[in-house]
Structure 1
Amino acid sequence: MSAISILALDTSTEFCSVALYLNSLGTERVIVRHRHTGAVSSAHVLPLIRDVLDEGGLALGACHAIAFGAGPGSFTGLRTACGVAQGLAYGAGLPVIPVSTLLACAEMARAQRPAPGRVMVALDARMEEVYWADYTWDGPSQGWVVNHDAALDAPDALPQPDEPFMLAGNAAAIFGDRLPLAGQARAVLSEALPHARAVAVLAARDYALGRTLPAHEAAPFYIRNKVAQTVAERQAAAGHRATLAHLAEGR
């Protein structure tokens, strides 16, 4: 892998994370800005992008692609990363590389444990549910193997792998005993969370394999349908129940 430069973004959590991946003749360098911004990552992401590009001495148009954490994760955060990546890619004439936030967690686990083997990832999805996926690291030549792609389940419904595994993601810290999988893992890496560094490293592999998309095809990956309507639907359902109760009382 030579002369590759990739800008990577992730705003799927309460952190605004930006990285610039540089690879010249096999020498890798990753410049990172990773800040806790709460729900206002959109106000920080462009200044952080300027920071990493300036430090890398690179213009946006000199990058080979723009990668982003595509999901699952925060509905607003996913739209922010996707929208910024798409807009910048359009303007600079670059392709985009969507990266699973769950796979990014597995990659962060690999950064902590270089030979991770089997890695289950479980992230808090709110509403008493967990985003999860199951991966195996098959070495540098093969990379990550997907045993089970991203899914959404109750914390006590996650399957246990049939071999020793590590658990990455914050679900163990959030759900405790309600996530039985945590007690079965050989290691729990609660700080292995979505991060632009991991998005960049994974995107570099995808770029080398030709796995890019034109900017107009950039899209977030939500898993949970109709996220934006959840509150409205709950209110409508409550109103419907109240109406039915009122009608029942009048009988």
Structure 2
Amino acid sequence: MTRISAKILAIDTATEACSAALWQDGRLLSRYEVAPRGHTDLILPMVAELLAESELTLNQLDAIAFGRGPGSFTGVRITLGVAQGLAFGADLPLLGVSNLQALAQGAYRVCRAESALAAIDARMGEIYVGGFALRNNDGASDGEGDGLMISTDLEQVLTPSDWLASTAGQGWTVGVGSGFVTYPELNARYGELCTALPYPEAQDLLPQALAMWQQGLGVAAAEAVPVYLRDKVTWQKLPGR
């Protein structure tokens, strides 16, 4: 990431993973744990640890980024509720970042992917899916990027068979996310899978959040909204919830 002078906290609980990260004027700290049953117990202590390690208070931050979805209904609601609570108390703007974009950003960070299809297991025999490519400094998306993965098509929810029957996915070189773990039939479309990243991580919300913050795109806590993709939100829970 470009060295940007800002202090931004990022949190995410939208999938089985719970994570928090802090950007402090170019210094990155993060916490990450896969714990489907423990999000509500883990996220605030993670935040407290990051602030203590950075010797910062909430009021010294510039903004809070959160994983806005898609993901588990319960998990997305936890993320939004915690982010709103923290932002209200410190009068901070919120920056909502797609969890699919964060997965693609992670694929660039870990696997050096210049384009990626991100797929999250949506339960009920479906996947949340979106394609991303590395952005050029002039705003284009064809590989010579500035480190930011940007969307190249509409994020959607559909069955793996419907996706395979479509022409989608043929332009992306790397697959990333739990959708590829749950539905291995998707893997045949890719020469490479970024297997180190089954779930989005809060640190990968930060590149997009920093770009949004520089553009003044933060919103008041009361105006932040989740993105579920499904027309009818399912109440089916992750294991243990």
Q: Secondary structure at the match of 1:71?
A: coil
Matched, 1:190 2:192: no
Cα distance in 1 for residues equivalent to 2:234 and 2:54: 37
Q: TM-score, normalised by structure 1?
A: 0.83
2:15 match:
13
Offset at 1:147?
A: 1.6
2:74 match:
76
Contact 1:168–1:188 (CA under 8 A) maintained in structure 2: yes
Q: Secondary structure at the match of 1:149?
A: coil
1:46 match:
44
Cα distance in 1 for residues equivalent to 2:119 and 2:172: 16
Aligned match for 1:104, one of 82, 102, 105:
102
Alignment of 1:54-65 (within 5 A): 54-65=52-63
User: In structure 1, what residue type is equivalent to 2:224?
Assistant: A
1:221 match:
227
User: In structure 2, what residue type is equivalent to 1:66?
Assistant: I
Offset at 1:164?
A: 5.0
2:135 match:
138
- Structure 2 unaligned residues grouped into runs of 5+: 140-147
Q: TM-score, normalised by structure 2?
A: 0.86
1:92 match:
90
Contact 1:71–1:220 (CA under 8 A) maintained in structure 2: yes
Offset at 1:119?
A: 1.1
Rg (Cα) greater in structure: 1
Offset at 1:230?
A: 6.3
Q: Choose between structure 1 and 2 for higher RCO, CA contacts under 8 A separated by at least 6 residues.
A: 2
Q: Percent identity?
A: 32
Offset at 1:204?
A: 1.2
User: In structure 1, what residue type is equivalent to 2:49?
Assistant: D
Matched, 1:129 2:126: yes
The superposition leaves residues 88-147 of structure 1 with CA deviations (integer Å, 9 ceiling, x where unpaired) of 101101000000000000000000233x22211111111110100011112356333322
2:154 match:
149
Contact 1:170–1:191 (CA under 8 A) maintained in structure 2: no
Offset at 1:205?
A: 1.6
Describe the shift of the 1:14–1:230 C-alpha distance in structure 2 as closer, same or farther (beyond 3 A).
closer
RMSD: 1.8
Range 142-151 or range 195-204, more displaced: 142-151
Could you say which structure has the higher helix fraction? 1
1:248 match:
none
